[in-house]
């Protein structure tokens, strides 16, 4: 199973360790690949250097200078998460060409779209009982780093391995009337999700997440669930279809 977590599921060291605990419990029965982002950490490191960020369509416009900071920030976070998870190895896209990408749109600078995943490397590590922890930096056609939205990077990994994916965030899933918790949708079809985006009740960071979940299904993932990283037992429950919002074709 692929577990994606990002900024909202690592707001504190306590939450980060709770998620790591969930992963450690799950992998006793199911091999797990972790894919992570870290938007807030990137933001902090850019701000510390006086580099302002602009987002277009939920993606950070990434200059070469910003890319250096993104890679540095995610590399450090990657090692911390790998340590949290234990029996793990932390990797970015440059390692054995784990994530290869093309430039998504020159107007966004060094932002990538994943075109290849080194699934053999992931399978080798899993076969040795090691949990891969993958940061969302890919290698581009020029051999330099590209910044990939972590939800889309995770979807590419799930597609390449043909395994299910759980996106952990700070809400229980997709709400039909956000933020009313009683409006949580346990299931959402592609048509309903597209209608939600058009209708505006799926908004902000939930748009790329829902789209990444649908992309993962298109690429061959058997299931895609969006769930809260703050609930105990969430990963096992999500895999059983008993937590979060499950996207269906
Ligand atoms: N219909 C909705 N249901 C749930 N959350 C929504 C919805 N529409 C927008 N959101 C927002 O999406 C956020 C999750 O996306 P994001 O902040 O990008 O997560 P992450 O950083 O974990 O990847 C929620 O915190 C919420 O503010
Ligand atoms: C291109 C692009 O926008 N990349 C993201 C990568 C990190 C990410 O996606 O982190 P979360 O999972 O915490 O959102 C960024 O620079 O913020």
87 CA → ligand 1 middle, Å:
31
Whose C-alpha lies nearest to ligand 2, atom 17?
Answer: 39
CATH number at residue 205: 3.40.1160.10
* 173-178: long-range contacts, CB 8 A cutoff, minimum separation 24: 173/225, 173/226, 173/227, 173/228, 173/243, 173/244, 173/245, 174/202, 174/206, 174/210, 174/226, 174/245, 175/201, 176/201, 177/201, 178/203, 178/206
| pLDDT at residue 198 is higher than 90 | yes
Q: Which of 19, 34, 39, 46 to mutate to test the pocket of ligand 2 (most atoms within 8 A of CB)?
A: 39
Query: Does ipTM surpass 0.90 in this model?
Result: yes
Is the beta carbon of 91 within 6 A of some atom in ligand 1?
Answer: no
Lowest mean pLDDT across 5-14, 44-53, 69-78, 101-110 = 5-14
Domain that holds residue 206: 2-248
Query: What is the pairing mode between strands 88-91 and 131-135?
Result: parallel
199-244 pLDDT, tens per residue? 999 998 899 999 999 999 999 999 999 999 888 899 999 999 899 9
User: Which 3 state secondary structure label does DSSP give 34?
Assistant: strand
Average pLDDT (25-33) is: 92
197 CA → ligand 1 middle, Å:
12
Is the beta carbon of 18 within 6 A of some atom in ligand 2?
Answer: no
31 CA → ligand 2 middle, Å:
25
pTM, entire model:
0.96
Q: How many domains does the chain have?
A: 1
């Amino acid at each position: 199973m692929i577990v994606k977590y990002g900024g909202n599921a690592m707001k504190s060291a306590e939450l980060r360790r709770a998620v790591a605990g969930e992963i450690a419990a799950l992998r006793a029965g199911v091999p797990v690949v972790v894919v992570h982002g870290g938007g807030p950490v990137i933001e902090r490191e850019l701000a510390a250097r006086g580099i302002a960020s602009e987002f277009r369509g939920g993606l950070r416009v990434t200059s070469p200078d910003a890319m250096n900071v993104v890679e540095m920030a995610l590399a450090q976070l990657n090692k911390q998460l790998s340590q949290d998870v234990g029996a793990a190895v932390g990797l970015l896209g440059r390692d054995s060409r784990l994530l290869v990408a093309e430039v998504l749109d020159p107007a966004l600078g060094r932002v990538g779209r994943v075109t290849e995943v080194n699934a053999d490397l992931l399978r080798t590590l899993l076969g040795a009982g090691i949990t891969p922890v993958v940061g969302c930096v890919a290698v581009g056609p020029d051999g330099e780093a590209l910044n990939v939205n972590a939800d889309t990077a995770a979807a590419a990994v799930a597609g390449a391995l043909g395994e299910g994916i759980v996106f952990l965030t700070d809400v229980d899933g997709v709400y039909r009337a956000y933020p009313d918790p009683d409006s949580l949708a346990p299931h959402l079809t592609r048509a309903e999700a597209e209608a939600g985006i058009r209708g505006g009740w799926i908004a902000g960071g939930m748009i790329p997440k829902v789209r990444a979940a649908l992309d993962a299904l298109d690429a061959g993932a058997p299931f895609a669930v969006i769930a809260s990283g703050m609930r105990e037992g969430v990963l096992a429950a999500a895999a059983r279809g008993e937590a979060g919002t499950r996207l269906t074709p």
